[in-house]
Amino acid sequence: MDKPTVRPAPGPPNLPYSLRDRKWAIAFFWTLFVIDTLAQPLILYFTLWYLTDLSHNLVFTISTAALGGVAVAEYFYRFYTLYRKGSVVRPLNARRSWLDFFQINFTIVWLILAVELIIGTVQEEPFIRLLAMPLPTVMFYFGIVHLTLDILRAQGYQAPFRISSTPKGSVMPTALYVLIEDIVAVDGAGGQKYRRALRNRYLASPYFRQMLFEMNCFWGGGSIIFATVTTILIFTTPRDVAYVLGWSLPLLWAGVWTLITIPWVQGDLRKEKAAWAENLTLDTEPYTDNILGPKPKTRLLSTSGRLFSMRPF
């Protein structure tokens, strides 16, 4: 029997979620997050260090204790909504105790940061440069995890354990797909309805999978490179400058990367829809994550192909 090459649907499966409908909630959350991870550490540091007679150790004991209130609240909110009986945001067909992949990594990175902050404040004179490293550490961690998953995927490895809604033994999912699934389902209240819709889209559209792979490389690789640059600056610039850079540069990087990502993804989604409508989504088996199949010509691949064709040699 010949493989089906034409999708019966007029377009890729819909994703029942709109960021525009939640723009004020998103803006409110990120405003609190920036205050919590940028304004608060810097204000407490300069105010308590230079305007009080508190010991240096006590200054950072106070600022460390006040750090991450929004993230801590989000952590316990996610844990509760995933673990509670009858949860509608849990990964598809997952046990109650499994949580999701983002929550597992959230836990690990918090443990790493706790060790980092304890080492930085346990001595009488705080190790200020280390205390400027929490955000670069998060960038290193998630960048390495996300790139590792996609390298393993490219090598043909199967998932060694359940990765959110991807069962053990399935083709390793691209890491950004898992992140989007978990964040929108739990933090964005999309629930299992969104998890199922996103999985349908991911399996149905080779173009969508390739776009997520490229975006994962862009964010994962960028986070590692920029975290490295930030770390070098933290350990080579004057103390106060280092502390400011450690807490501000990662957020600046995230803002720039977001501004690049939005039009990039919008353009690719339009091209995906056009390719689907014109039956150009590739001769592959429908609803199958085939990593060995031909790569769709996304905007990135098309542009890079044109640039390479212009080489004078």
Nearest by Cα to 167 from 177, 159, 155: 159
Question: Does residue 112 sit within a domain?
Answer: yes
Question: Does residue 313 sit within a domain?
Answer: no
**Confidence bin at 306 (pLDDT 50/70/90):** very low
For residue range 46-105, list pLDDT tens digits in order.
999 999 999 999 999 898 888 888 888 999 999 999 999 889 999 998 888 788 999 999
| Residue whose entry in the numeric block shows the structure tokens 């290193």 | 140
- C-alpha to C-alpha distance for 243 and 199, rounded to whole angstroms: 42
Q: Which two tokens stand for residue 133?
A: 């490293």
| Residue whose entry in the numeric block shows the structure tokens 């039956």 | 279
- DSSP code per residue over 83-150: HSTT-SSSPTT--GGG--HHHHHHHHHHHHHHHHHHHHHHSSS--HHHHT-HHHHHHHHHHHHHHHHH
Q: Which residues pair with 166 in a beta bridge?
A: 163
For residue range 179-229, list pLDDT tens digits in order.
999 999 999 989 999 999 999 999 988 899 999 999 999 999 999 999 999
Task: Give the pLDDT confidence score for residue 286 in this predicted structure.
Answer: 60
Question: Does residue 40 sit within a domain?
Answer: yes
Question: Does residue 131 sit within a domain?
Answer: yes
- pLDDT score of 121 more than 50: yes
**Confidence bin at 132 (pLDDT 50/70/90):** very high
| Number of structural domains in the chain | 1
- C-alpha to C-alpha distance for 23 and 256, rounded to whole angstroms: 19
Question: Does residue 14 sit within a domain?
Answer: no
Query: Average of pLDDT values for 237-261?
Result: 96
Q: Which residue has the higher pLDDT, 11 or 230?
A: 230
For residue 231, give the amino acid letter. Answer: T
Q: Are 145 and 105 in contact (CB under 8 A)?
A: yes
Task: Give the pLDDT confidence score for residue 294 in this predicted structure.
Answer: 66
Task: Give the pLDDT confidence score for residue 161 in this predicted structure.
Answer: 93
Q: Are 150 and 115 in contact (CB under 8 A)?
A: no
Task: Give the pLDDT confidence score for residue 1 in this predicted structure.
Answer: 41
**Confidence bin at 308 (pLDDT 50/70/90):** very low
Give the domain extent around 241: 20-307
Task: Give the pLDDT confidence score for residue 245 in this predicted structure.
Answer: 97
Question: Does residue 13 sit within a domain?
Answer: no
Neighbours of 165 (CB within 10 A): 25
For residue 258, give the amino acid letter. Answer: T
**Confidence bin at 109 (pLDDT 50/70/90):** very high
For residue range 160-188, list pLDDT tens digits in order.
999 999 999 999 999 999 999 999 999 99
Question: Does residue 296 sit within a domain?
Answer: yes
For residue range 19-40, list pLDDT tens digits in order.
888 888 888 888 988 898 899 9
Own/partner contacts of 192-197, CB < 8 Å, gap of 24 or more, are 192/88, 192/89, 192/90, 192/92, 193/16, 194/15, 194/16, 194/17, 195/91, 195/92, 195/164, 195/165, 196/92, 196/165, 197/13, 197/14, 197/15, 197/16, 197/17
Q: Which distant-in-sequence residues (6+ apart) come within 8 Å of 75 by Cβ?
A: 103, 106, 107, 110
Helix axes 206-234, 299-309, angle to 10 degrees: 80
- pLDDT score of 151 more than 70: yes
- pLDDT score of 41 more than 70: yes
